[in-house]
A = this chain, B = another copy of it.
């Protein structure tokens, strides 16, 4: 999937990973085009004056900004920043382009790289100094339109995780402490990695309110001829999606790829025997791959003659291909193939006559089953608590903890301080949209004040 690079925190996305990114990109790009969102491309570079215009925003990003100060042998007159995100890159032009209510909504997206020069624990896909993403930036005449879009985009992010990557996520809202720097509110899809007992922010859809509009003077004349300020959103998902999928499904043998995003869904391996009809087996493999490809299934034959079938089995298991088809002398004699599932090692003999139908069924089944298994594992990690003692106990067991909370920023900071330790402090993950009942009189698990909502807490990436 990746190769380590000679600059720390940078990674090479090899074709096996890139093809997953391309499948997610094709889906999302088509969906946002249906929503009349248009692609564009803004520069990689930001001038310091613009970058620093929104105070909270730059405070959030300043320590991670990479600066270009030289070209060739010459010092630049003014250092130039590399975008960590493009709010400040784009919004001066939103101000220029938006004049009247007919210029709204303005809905742009770009697919690009961004740079955040983090020093803590670079991890492939999850925390890297450069990563690929899409970033949407939109402006509306009313808050209602902005609110609606925030949720429409969040639903696309849920579909990327649940329908494509087979990773269960929880939709919710970030706390004031965890929201996007400079924004009004942040919605998120949160995943959880049972093996490490950590939550991970999957993708975020922000309502920026009118804060950036004020700083960048993005005004318009409304339909009554009055001057008004726009309401803005920004939203992004990154190559981190791939990392989450790897961590959720991987096992001792290596990767496990959901069929929908696997660039090879079915690997066909000839299993010749010394006395058997080798040519017949190779012909059957060729016929099988042709039939599957024609039915739109991504299949390949591994006909390398310098590796044994057993070596190939392990190799493709390690790479995570969802389904292996073996064709040996017995299969040839019976006019069948043997299919072996990557996810649960189940073996199924498939008559050639039913090939496409049964392979499609199996792939659908694997996709669904990966999601169900991941959901069961995730659900088993969720613990509901009411008191600090229960919370501390659940945290020591690396749980994803649902607790009633007073929703005060100082209390969240206090929870962080009280749980600080070698493996990291707990923080709020999100307040789920799907709220359990909160009986009158329920108290905050941390402050003892009246609770205002249920919120997920845990250690996180």
Choose one: B40, B64, B71, B117; the contact of A12 (CB below 8 Å).
B40
Q: Is the CB of B113 within 8 A of A44?
A: yes
Q: Are B39 and A22 in contact (CB under 8 A)?
A: yes
**Separation of A19 and B33 alpha carbons in the complex (Å):** 11
Residues of chain B contacted by A82 (CB below 8 angstroms) = 68
A220 to chain B, nearest CB (A): 14
Instruction: Report whether B67 and A7 are in contact in the complex, using a CB–CB cutoff of 8 Å.
Output: no
- Neighbouring B residues of A226 by C-beta, 8 Å: none
Given known A5-B43, A42-B12, A43-B5, contact A117–B64 (CB-CB < 8 A) = no
Chain A binding surface, main DSSP class: mixed
Contact A71 B80 (CB under 8 A): no
Mark contacts of A230-258 with chain B using CB atoms, 8 A cut-off: 1 yes-contact digit, 0 otherwise. 00000000000000000000000000000
> CB within 8 A of A64: which of B22, B50, B69, B71?
B71
CB distance from A92 to the nearest CB of B (A): 7
Contact B18 A40 (CB under 8 A): yes
Alpha-carbon distance A343/B67, docked complex (angstroms)? 46
Find out whether the CB atom of B3 lies under 8 angstroms from the CB atom of A45: no
Q: Does A385 contact B (CB under 8 A)?
A: no
A305–chain B nearest beta-carbon distance, Å: 10
Would you give the shortest CB distance from A445 to chain B, in whole angstroms? 36
Q: Interface size (A, Cβ < 8 Å)? A: 55
Bound together, the chains give a CA A50 to CA B47 distance in angstroms of 29
Contacting pair B45 A10 (CB below 8 A): yes
Q: Complex: how many Å from CA A306 to CA B97?
A: 18
Inter-chain contact A6/B92, CB cutoff 8 Å = yes
Q: Is B306 touching A44 in the complex (CB atoms < 8 A)?
A: no
Q: Are A115 and B70 in contact (CB under 8 A)?
A: no
CA distance A68 to B7 in the complex (A): 13
Within 8 Å by CB of A44, from B19, B39, B62, B115, lies B115
0/1 string, A5-49, CB within 8 A of B gives 1: 111001111110011011000000000000000111111111100
A206 to chain B, nearest CB (A): 22
Which residues of the other chain, B, contact A42 by a CB distance below 8 angstroms? Answer: 5, 12-13
A65 within 8 A of B: yes
- How many angstroms from the CA of A18 to the CA of B21 in the assembled complex? 20
> In the complex, what residues of B have CB within 8 A of residue A18's CB?
38-41
A65 to chain B, nearest CB (A): 6
A318 at the B interface (CB under 8 A): no
> How far, in whole Å, are A311 and B73 apart by their CA atoms in the complex?
51
- A66 near B: Cβ within 8 Å? yes
Q: Which 8 A-B pairs have the closest CB atoms?
A: A71-B117, A15-B38, A10-B43, A13-B41, A67-B70, A63-B72, A69-B69, A18-B39
Give A residues with C-beta under 8 Å from B: 3, 5-7, 10-15, 18-19, 21-22, 38-47, 50, 62-73, 79-80, 82, 92-93, 96-97, 102, 108, 112-113, 115, 117, 129-130, 132, 304, 306
Contacts A7-B47, A65-B71 given; 9 further ones with Cβ under 8 A? A6-B50, A15-B108, A18-B38, A44-B113, A64-B71, A66-B70, A67-B69, A71-B117, A72-B117
25 A-B contact pairs sorted by A residue (CB < 8 Å): A6-B47, A6-B50, A7-B47, A10-B43, A10-B44, A10-B45, A12-B40, A15-B38, A18-B38, A18-B39, A18-B41, A19-B39, A21-B41, A43-B130, A44-B130, A63-B72, A65-B72, A66-B70, A67-B68, A68-B68, A69-B69, A69-B70, A70-B79, A71-B117, A112-B113
